[in-house]
Structure formats: C-alpha cells, structure tokens
Structure 1
Amino acid sequence: MKLLFIGARLFDDVAVYTKKMGITTVLTESNPQAQNLDLADSYHLVPRGMEHPKDIAIKEDVDGIVPLIGIDEPLKEVALLKEELETDYGLPVVASPLKAVSIAGDKVKTKEFLLKNNIKTPEHELIHSCTKMGTKKYPLVLKQSCGQGGKNIKIALSLEDLCCYLEEYDTALVERFIDGIEISIEILRWKNNSLPLVPVSKGKTTLDCIHPLKKLKKAPFQIDNTIAESKIDYYSQKIRNIALKIANLLNIEGTADLDLIFDKYDKNTYVLEINTRISGTRYLTAAASDINPLHEMVDMATGSWNVKNVSKRIKKYYALEIPVGDYVSDKNNYRFREFHGDNSWIIHGPDNHQRITIRGKNEKNAHKIAAQLNLDLGKIRN
C-alpha cells in the first residue's frame, strides 16, 4: 500500500503510524526548508498548487492521497484535485468536496447554510456603513467573510469601534457577542458514514479576542462545577447531533471541525464556523477519546476505515491542553506523538507556541501530571 501525503508540516503526526501499518509514504511539499521531509519514504519539492501533486500521484501509482492541510487557502484546489482524481482515476482523496469547502470557507455562506437548515447561529448582519448602528446593543463581534485563526476579528464596544473597523474594511459581518464557552468538535466522515467525536472546551469568550491557542483547553466539554454530569452529557450529545447533521448535509469527507459557543445564560449552543480541514484540537481529541483523526484519515485512504469499529474504540479520558510557549523537553518530535495508557502527555507545536496535551484517567490524574511537569494551571487563562 502506497499513499501520497500533501504537505510536510503535519507529517510528523502520521509518520510512526504509517510505518507501523506498513504503508509506503510519498510526500510533496513546496517549502524546501520544511521540517519532516526525511520522515517519508520519498519526497518531492514542488511549486505551490495541486497540479504537481496530481502528476506525482499518477506517476507513483499511489493507492490514495491524504492532504495534510491545516489552513483554508488551498482547500478549493484540493477539492478540485479530489474531483478529478476520484472521477478519472478512481483514486481516493481524503478531503471534502468543492460544495462543502465553498460554503465553509465563506462565513456569509456558512450563515446562510445554517439558517436554511434551522441550525442556531448568533444573530448577525452584513453591513457596509455605520449608519443606524448606534441603536445596536454592544458588544458586537466584527468579522470578514474569509479568514481563520482570529484574523480580522474585533470586538466592538461602541459605535466608534465599529466605524473604525469599517474605515479599514469595506464591509463587516456583525454578530451578537455571546458570553459563554467556546467549543470545538471534530467529525470524521467517509463513504457516507459520519462519526462526531468529543466536544472540546476552548475557554470562556473574552472581549479582548484571546485566541484559544493561548488558553487552557479541556475535554470532554465542561461548563462549570455547578452543572450536573448528566446535564453535561445531555449538552454534549446535542453538540454531537449538530455536528452529525452538518456533516451529512454538507457531505463532508475526511475530517472537519465545528466552532461553537455555549451561551451560559440561555443554555443554547450556537454554531459559528465550519472548518473542512484538520483541526487544531486534534491532540485534545486523541487524548480524550483515543481516536487520532489523522490516523483515521490514513485508514480512509487505504480503504480500511470502518465507522462501527472506530465507534467501538472510543474511550473516555480527561484531557487538558496547556500553552507553554517554550518548554525544555526532548520529546517534541514525531517519535512521541501518540498517547499511551491512562496517564500520559505529548508536547507539540513550534518554538514560542508549544503546547502540552495531557491525558488523565480523570481530572485529578490530569492535574497531578500537570503538577509533575511544573505547570501552574492557575496562571493560565481559561
């Protein structure tokens, strides 16, 4: 079995797994300085775009393609590659089709899709002028239709803030600010079979737009200590049901994640965004459920993925992810990218932006591991 992987940055997450499964790996990458090139059995440095990966896939006679894409920009090209290779060559490409990518990649289209399908999303409107906006209830969230990682997002506390934003951008997607908890949930879907995984808490919403990467994150999803566990399970299942509905309606393939907010006042969950790409919460998902989304993508490409078997393999752990900036460790490499047993941890991420993800048998065990690693959770925003 031979697979082509597009993109080297995340290849360290699958390098050990592909070796263990006896898969021959071919890697394409446009950056000659990229890390992880030597982890593949062979690699090709190519210009940006999907034309060269397509030619290499055909020339190398691979059995499937796994795009290791964690950013939005190339996703439409990947979707077109998928359409061509699957239609003309019968080669599976583990990525979402063009329709799903086009809707998910545009926040305005995403809102239209959610409303059309009666899925809760914060009240919003697309504006081009400050006129008549003074009567709005602030704070408001301001966004552009495209962008990820918090780019071009601002919290407007007043009409003046809103007008300043519109001086920089011609339009703004204006959204009601919700005081609550940010959530992500990853979905696996292949050959019309869908499996939502564990909802992840990414911290409380803030007026200063603190990115979740800088917060303490937890899985499974938590609200606060006053909510009974049975009620948490109820809310978590509702989130899974939302994810399942969206995945099936959009015909998502491979892996995707939803960004949501749980409103602590009305106890409703509102969908913010749909991301048809590899998620930044994948380590938390793996820690809490024992399901590694990237490994599942490999299985999809080889034709061995079975949704019932994956569902049976799901376990329940308590997981924490802590931003550490730079942490002295010799374990931040591909050899240590898998969790083992009830209590373990993984360090990952680039210099200055490293994170440690901890798996504990329960919350007490996870906090004990954090203490052993000299991590003061009280100093980290959540």
Structure 2
Amino acid sequence: MKKLLVANRGEIAIRVMRTAKKMGIKTVAVYSTADRNAPHVKYADEAVLIGEAPSNKSYLLGDKIIEVAKKLNVDAIHPGYGFLSENAEFAEKIAQNNITFIGPKSKAIKIMGSKLAAKEAVKAYHIPMVPGTDEAITNIAEAKSIASKIGFPILIKASAGGGGKGMRIVEKEADFESQMERAISEAINAFGDGAVFIEKYVASPRHIEIQVMADAHGNVIHLFERECSIQRRHQKVVEEAPSGVLTPELRNKMGEAAIKVAKACDYLGAGTVEFLLDENHNFYFLEMNTRLQVEHPVTELISGTDLVELQIRVARGEVLPIKQEDLKINGHALELRVYAEDPLNDFLPSVGRLDVYKLPVGKNIRVDNGFEEGMDIPIYYDPMLSKLITYGKTRNEAIELMLKAINDYKIEGIKTTLPFGSFVFEHEAFRSGNFNTHFVKQYYSPEALKEKQEEEAKMAALIAVKQYIEDQKLLRLPN
C-alpha cells in the first residue's frame, strides 16, 4: 500500500493521514469548495477538489471519489466516520475497482446497518438483547398489543436509524398511537424507510461500547470498553476508558460477547459493539458500528495501540500483531468533543469565525483538531471542531488535567461545548462515577452553567483584587 485517499474532512482526515505518513504511505485529501483552505487539505501530499460545499455535492459523491482515486493510482480508501463510512454500496464499488477499502466487507456493513438484521445475525450466539420485536413493524394496532405485552415504558426505534433520529420513548399506553405515527413519519423523512421496531425501555442505562479488531485470518480481539453515557440529543459529548463500573468479570463477559457479534457477521477491521448496561449491571446488545468511532483515542491511550495502523495492517491482509492476552488496561483517558454549539442555547450550532483559536499543549494532552485561527465554521457539516483528550495514571488525574486543558483552550468568535465540559468534569455525579445517560436531563441546565460561570468570574475578580492589594503594599514599602 503506497497511496491512501481519505474520503473525509476535518480532524479525522488529519488523524488518518498522520498514521499513514508514519507508515510511509502517501496521502490524498478530497475537499469541497467550503474546505479549500482547511488544514486536512494542506496536510495531505495531494489534494483534489470534488465539489460544492453541501456534502451531497462533495463528500457523499462516492463515484467521484473513486474516480479521483483511480486517476491518482490510489491503493486504498479510508472513509473515516460519517459520510460514506457505513455505506455498503461504496465499499462494494471500491472493491470492484481493485482498490482496498479500509473497513469491513460490504456484507457486514449491510447486516449491522439494519438494527433488525443485526439482531437476527447475533441471535444464534446467545447474546443478551433488550426484550422487543424481532421484525420491523408498521401496523399500529399490532404494535400496541406487542408493547402492552413487553410493558411500558417502551422505546420505538427506526430500523434504519442512527444519531438519535427516529427514536421515541413512550411512558404510557395512552400515548402509544400518536408516538408511533410520529416515529414512522420521522423515519420516512430521515431515512426514506418507515420500518420501526419496539423494545423495552431501559430506564437508567449506561452506554458501554467495546472496541473490536478483526483480521482476515480469523483472529478477533477486543480492546476493552468505553463509557459513553454523557450525551445530549442521544449523541455523545464525553467519553472515557475504562468505565468506572465494570468489574474484570463483567468486562470479560462483554468483551467476549462483542467478539461473538464480530464473528456473527464475518467482520474485518475496526468496529464497535454497543451495549446498554442497566442499574443491575445486566448488559444488552444495542448495535454495531462498522467503522472507526469518534472516541477511538481514549482506547488508544489506555491500550497503547494505534487503531488506524491496525486498520491499515488488516486491510493489507496482515495477521493482527497483537493477541488478546497481550492487552491490558493502563491508566485512564477522557475525551470531550469540542462542538461549535451554544450550551446556553439548547446546544444549537454556533456559526462564525474563529477570531482566536489556541490549542492547549502539555504532557498527556492530545487534541485531534481540524481547524485553525481565522477560519470560518462551515454550516454544511457536523459542528465538531476537535476532540480534547487527556490521559492520567488514575481517573482523577485525567479529570484534573482535562479541566486544566479546557481552561487553556482559547476560542473566541463562536460558542463551544468547552464550558459544558467543565460543568461535567467538575460535577459530583460525574466525579463519583454515579451517572447514566440521563446526566444532562438530571443535572444540566443553562441556568446551572450560568451560575457556575458567574461564581468563577467572582472568584477570579476576588483573586485579582487580592493580588492588587498585595502589589500596592509592595510598592509602598520603603527602599
């Protein structure tokens, strides 16, 4: 493999290219008109404009990307995450053009891309699943009868869904029909597919996912878990590894279950198996993400691995260079997704120019970043600027370093999730490890954040006054 094209943008494009360069592989960036001056374009050995700013006119043009790859004699394409990363047709076309797709085979993407097909595939492996329907359902009366048998509260989910879209929690039977109708219409609008399924709603879950890696020689390993319970709008904002609630026994059980899920679809490369963990520490298979995850750096830090390097190696047909027994958890890592969003205004996207953009630096601080000072934030894509990651020998050490890094991260011109990050990492529920996916609903409000910021401002003012008085005393001292 001599040349690799990254079919993505921003921080993940740079992240993949960094490893490729380390391995002596040339890199190709693709970009839209909005990203003409983006760092990933400058970082690559070659860069090609593929279309206009909207993603459906650039980053989602699979045929155009393959055409560019062929023209530049590219050996492999890495899809990153988002965009075409879980598009089975794209993976298939790449293979048909004798280019290596750095990811699983299209069959695995197809199976795991449908929540129902995924459930069907893993059923034979006796992996625990949340009670619910085994097949898609659109008949409201039939669905209501099933829901009553399962028992409320229940969750209605779009079969083709993701990112929290097409999901409805129904607390009581009286609300079922209206919520079912809404879920079906939301699913049609978002995915062009009205199929939904229903399952028991796990009331206070934690979101635990297991990183797996598989080669073409039948070897599958897991690289432990990530805790992803701090979410807003069903999307993760804070992740950590390892989880504070898993015992070694439970970790082994979940790791083995994740390996079985990978085997169930003949998996290849890096994937993530997601589970819900209830308050009694029962775990249930949720879904499998057939790509590299946004939060992969926390796993890299605690396992001492480079997941992108492993992806490239197995895509080249190599045997995995590590065995399960070689892996052990070392220390603790945290990640905050730094979004251009206003936490004081319901996390709505905040557009504008990065008038000031200074990254924190220091030992055990990592920033996977896709922006630089003076850039405008494009409105066309996911509003994530970067990922701020810290590592410590203990969880407390990683938290303290994270708070320092957030404080040292200087951004002006737009609102970001940095203050929200401080709120989370200072909160007693997070620090004690006693939290679940309802953290934001239970503890966070714009008022609480404003109050915290005002307290900090008062404290800073008092320190400044005290310092001023001390300085004045020194000035008045006789020579």
Q: State the TM bucket, normalised to the shorter chain.
A: 0.7 to 0.9
Q: CA deviation at 1:53?
A: 3.3
Distance 1:303 1:369 in 2: 39
The aligned residue for residue 33 of structure 1 is 34
After superposition, where does 1:75-224 map in structure 2 within 5 Å?
75-85=87-97, 89=98, 91-125=99-133, 126-127=136-137, 128-130=139-141, 131-132=144-145, 133-134=147-148, 136-168=150-182, 169=184, 171-178=195-202, 179-192=204-217, 193-203=219-229, 210-214=233-237, 216-223=238-245
Corresponding residue number in structure 2 for 1:257: 272
The alpha-carbon deviation at position 314 of structure 1 amounts to 5.9
Deviation at 1:287, TM superposition (A): 2.8
**Are 2:13 and 1:5 equivalent residues in the alignment?**
no
Which stretch shifts more, 102-111 or 75-84?
Answer: 75-84
CA contact (8 A) 2:86 2:113 kept: no
Partner of 2:390: 358
Q: Distance in 2 between matches of 1:346 and 1:232?
A: 30
Counterpart of 1:226 in structure 2 is none
Aligned partner of 1:244 in structure 2 is 259
**Corresponding residue of 2:307:** 293
| Shift of residue 143, structure 1, vs aligned partner | 0.5
Whole-angstrom distance in 1 between the partners of 2:105 and 2:212? 15
Per-residue deviation, 1:42: 0.9
Query: Within 2, Cα distance between the matches of 1:367 and 1:272?
Result: 28
**Rg comparison, structure with higher value:** 2
Q: Describe the superposition over 1:337-381 as per-residue Cα deviations: whole angstroms up to 9, x where unpaired.
A: xxx96x334365775775532211112311221343443423473
Cα deviation 1:188-217 (Å, max 9, x = unaligned)? 22223322112011127x9xx742424x43
Cα deviation code 1:86-110 (max 9, x no counterpart)? xxx4x43222112211111111111
When the two chains are superposed, the root-mean-square deviation of aligned CA atoms in Å is 3.2
Q: In the comparison of the two structures, how many residue pairs are matched?
A: 358
Deviations 1:295-323 (A, max 9, x none): 32234445666332797476512112235
| Partners of 1:189 and 1:181 in 2: CA distance | 26
Shift of 1:73: 7.4
d(CA) in 2 for partners of 1:287 and 1:329?
25
Contact 1:195–1:244 at 8 Å: present in 2 too?
yes
Q: Which has the higher helix share?
A: 2
Q: Which whole-Å CA distance do the structure 1 matches of 2:286 and 2:305 have between them?
A: 24
Q: Any stretches of 5+ residues in structure 1 without a counterpart?
A: 224-230
Is residue 94–residue 297 contact of structure 1 (8 Å, CA) maintained in 2?
A: yes
**Kept in 2: contact 1:184–1:281 (CA 8 A):** no
Counterpart in the other structure of 1:227: none
Matched, 1:57 2:105: no
Looking at structure 2, the residues matched to 60 and 185 of structure 1 have their Cα atoms a distance apart, in angstroms, of 36
Supply the distance in 2 between the matched residues of 1:65 and 1:157 (Cα, whole angstroms): 45
TM-score w.r.t. the length of structure 1 is 0.81
Contact 1:282 1:292 in 2 (8 A): no
Question: Aligned AA for 2:41?
Answer: L
Residue by residue over 1:232-284, the C-alpha shift from the partner in whole angstroms, topping out at 9 and shown as x without a partner, is: 1111111111111121221222221111012222x322111111122122122
Task: From the superposition, tell whether residues 99 and 20 of structure 1 become closer, same or farther in structure 2 (CA, over 3 Å).
Answer: closer
Task: Specify the SS of the correspondent of 2:224.
Answer: coil
Query: What letter matches 1:344 in structure 2?
Result: I
Amino acid at match of 1:109: A
* TM superposition shift of 1:24: 1.0
Equivalents in 2 of 1:184, 1:357: separation in Å? 18
Q: TM-score, normalised by structure 2?
A: 0.66
Shift, 1:171, TM fit? 4.7
CA distance in 1, matches of 2:399, 2:81: 32
Q: Which runs of 5+ in 2 are unaligned?
A: 51-57, 185-193, 342-355, 371-381, 408-421, 431-438, 441-479
CA contact (8 A) 2:389 2:402 kept: no
Match for residue 367 of structure 1 among 369, 382, 399: 399
2:19 — aligned with what? 17
